[in-house]
């Protein structure tokens, strides 16, 4: 990392970034007098490699201390990174640290991009590499976020520069692996720099990470890296998504009180949609935070979204204002349905572009994500896991269809979780099929032949069936239904996830999660579906 921030910063070294809304800084962060580093500071005045005079400490990271220094050969100020290795480390590990620093220099030196810090030299002193870099006057994004958040346009502009640096790195076969606010510098003249390639992975080089461990900041690490899977460019883009979220919301969505809890939240937690980021910026953030790297948007798509957020079109005059109700802005009317579409779903439980990733035997079901709760429902003899802000409907029974149900709905009306049970003892018409798979195929046939009037579903929707699922090590089935509503005024993409399970007593359970199929609520809806299905508990399997 190379920056000139905190004490010793010149008055003309401010940046143009506007923080909003600013939070009062703690007393110790109030404006400090421009004091030089005390002469007694160890190391000040030392001459490195016969030309770099150490002037002041700027900061330190996991593998080194960064100094402001003067290159006496060419008479310019530079940043010098000193290796910082605990004395108790075995010689082999110390060697690894030094090799990582050399790797940082090689990685950064290979990149020609204005958002990547320039490396001038590597000076070897007593076998230790000191990296000499350009001095970027300014402060880190991490420091800035201690005082407030960035507006959507500023956050998008920061994101564009970091994205450009990552694209250059990825094109050169380099993964950064530690993209976070502390490694993003806000320099003078609106310059933004991605620094600290100390744990970068260069294609074809040996992995220096200790066996069983990982490197990087836990709250910014992609899920696939937590799971020990091979990372790729999408892993750096995930980290960029977390940075953008933190830049607008003020905190990482996955930060917890300790590292294990943080890693668990990276794997399981579903962040609330960013409140300060709307439109294309929200779409970029939500897409980048998809747990599956294969579903994250490519860099080109992210760039298009960030450019749209950084340069929004000027508002057009509206000579005759019209009232438009957009999806997700207000609850849609709740309705009651017959057997084909299940009582209690409500118009918010709907479907769109099919995503085939219904997981029942979730290996991370374990503890619920923060903000979730479990509710035991006697009407359906099961325990549901739902976000604790969801509104519960009064459980009921559809006498005509012999179905018991309960539903929970997001306060906006965008997402609903519904559990429906058909009791074997009440099935006088023998409507319950012989298995979960048979029930799923029967419903799928109804969708394709006639759709659903109540759900505004046309016939022939896109469906993805799975007749080989398990639920608590027992046979189950699932379906994902996608369609665009038949609403002539405001057709909308919808998505519906369904789990089918037949108990040993012959009761048929259907857990259904519906949500918008496109937009800010899609990612949230899919994660709600995954978590609700993984944590469903039935009283008598």
Put residue 413 in one of left, alpha, beta given phi > 0 → left and psi -120 to 50 → alpha: left
Q: What is the largest CA-CA distance in the chain?
A: 94
Sorted by sequence, the CB contacts under 8 Å of residue 189 that are 6+ apart come out as none
Both tokens of residue 172? 């050169």
- The burial of 471, by beta-carbon neighbours within 10 Å (0-12 exposed, 13-18 middle, 19 or more buried), is given as buried
Place of tokens 């960030």: 306
Q: What secondary structure, in 3-state letters, does 394-412 show?
A: CCEEECCCCEEEEEEECCC
Sorted by sequence, the CB contacts under 8 Å of residue 48 that are 6+ apart come out as 54, 69, 80, 123, 125, 130
Q: Specify the DSSP element, H or E, that contains 474.
A: strand 474-484
What's the half-sphere exposure (Cβ side, CA atoms, 13 Å) at 246? 26
**Dihedral, CA of residue 338, residue 394, residue 440 and residue 444, to nearest 10:** 40
DSSP letter at 234 equals H
Both tokens of residue 183? 């490694």
User: Which one from 178, 290, 402, 520 is the annotated catalytic residue?
Assistant: 178
- The burial of 188, by beta-carbon neighbours within 10 Å (0-12 exposed, 13-18 middle, 19 or more buried), is given as middle
**81 annotated to a ligand binding site:** yes
Residue 225: alpha-carbon gap to chain centroid: 13
DSSP letter at 59 equals E
Q: Distance between CA atoms of 442 and 101, rounded to whole angstroms?
A: 62
Q: Distance between CA atoms of 76 and 80, rounded to whole angstroms?
A: 12
Q: Distance between CA atoms of 57 and 181, rounded to whole angstroms?
A: 20
Q: Distance between CA atoms of 193 and 199, rounded to whole angstroms?
A: 17
178 catalytic residue (yes or no): yes
Both tokens of residue 507? 């009761």
DSSP letter at 29 equals G
Write out the DSSP string of 205-227: SPP-SPTT---S-GGGS-HHHHT
Cβ atoms within 10 Å of 290's Cβ, excluding its own: 20
Please list the active-site residues.
Answer: 178
Annotated binding site for ATP: 81
Which residue positions form the known binding site?
Answer: 81
């Amino acid at each position: 990392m190379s920056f000139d921030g905190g004490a010793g910063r010149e008055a003309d070294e401010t940046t143009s970034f506007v923080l909003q809304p600013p939070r009062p800084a703690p007393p110790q962060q109030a404006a400090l007098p421009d004091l030089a580093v005390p002469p007694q500071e160890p190391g000040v005045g030392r001459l490195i490699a016969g030309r770099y005079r150490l002037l002041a400490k700027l900061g330190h990271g996991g593998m080194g201390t960064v100094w402001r220094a003067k290159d006496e050969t060419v008479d310019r100020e530079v940043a010098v990174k000193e290796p910082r290795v605990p004395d108790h480390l075995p010689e082999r590990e110390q060697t690894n640290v030094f090799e990582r620093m050399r790797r940082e220099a090689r990685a950064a030196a290979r990149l020609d991009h204005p958002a990547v810090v320039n490396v001038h030299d590597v000076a070897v002193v007593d076998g230790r590499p000191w990296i000499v870099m350009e001095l970027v006057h300014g402060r880190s994004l991490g420091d800035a976020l201690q005082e407030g958040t960035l507006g959507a346009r500023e956050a998008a502009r920061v994101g564009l520069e970091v994205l450009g640096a990552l694209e250059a790195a990825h094109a050169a076969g380099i993964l950064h692996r530690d993209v976070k606010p502390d490694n993003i510098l806000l320099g003078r003249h609106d310059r933004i720099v991605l620094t600290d390639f100390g744990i970068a992975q260069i294609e074809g080089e040996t992995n220096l990470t200790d066996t069983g461990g990982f490197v990087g900041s836990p709250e910014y690490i992609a899920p696939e890296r937590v799971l020990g899977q091979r990372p790729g460019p999408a892993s750096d883009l995930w980290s960029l998504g977390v940075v953008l979220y933190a830049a607008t919301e003020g905190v990482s969505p996955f930060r917890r009180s300790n590292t294990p809890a943080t890693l668990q939240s990276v794997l399981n937690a579903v962040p609330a949609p960013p409140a300060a980021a709307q439109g294309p910026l929200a779409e970029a953030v939500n897409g980048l935070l998809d747990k599956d790297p294969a579903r994250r948007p490519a860099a080109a798509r992210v760039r298009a979204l960030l450019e749209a957020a950084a340069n929004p079109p000027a508002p057009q005059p509206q000579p005759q204002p019209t009232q438009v109700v957009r999806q997700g802005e207000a609850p849609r009317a709740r309705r009651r349905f017959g057997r084909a579409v299940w009582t209690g779903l409500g118009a918010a439980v709907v479907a769109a572009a099919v995503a085939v990733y219904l997981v029942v035997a979730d290996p991370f079901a374990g503890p619920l994500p923060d903000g979730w709760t479990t509710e035991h429902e006697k009407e359906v003899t099961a325990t549901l896991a739902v976000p604790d802000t969801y509104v519960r409907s009064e459980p009921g029974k559809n006498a005509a269809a012999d179905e018991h149900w309960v539903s929970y709905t997001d306060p906006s009306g965008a997402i609903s979780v519904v559990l429906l049970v058909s009791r074997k003892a009440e099935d006088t018409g023998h409507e319950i099929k012989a298995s979960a798979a048979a029930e799923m195929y029967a419903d799928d046939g109804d969708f394709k032949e006639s759709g659903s009037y109540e759900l505004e579903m046309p016939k022939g929707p896109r469906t993805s069936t799975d007749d080989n699922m398990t639920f608590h090590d027992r046979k189950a089935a699932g379906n994902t239904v996608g369609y665009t509503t038949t609403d002539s005024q405001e057709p909308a993409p919808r998505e519906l996830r369904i789990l089918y399970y037949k108990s040993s007593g012959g009761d048929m359970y259907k857990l259904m999660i519906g949500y918008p199929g496109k937009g800010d609520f899609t990612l949230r809806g899919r994660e709600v579906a995954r978590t609700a299905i993984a944590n469903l508990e039935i009283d008598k399997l």
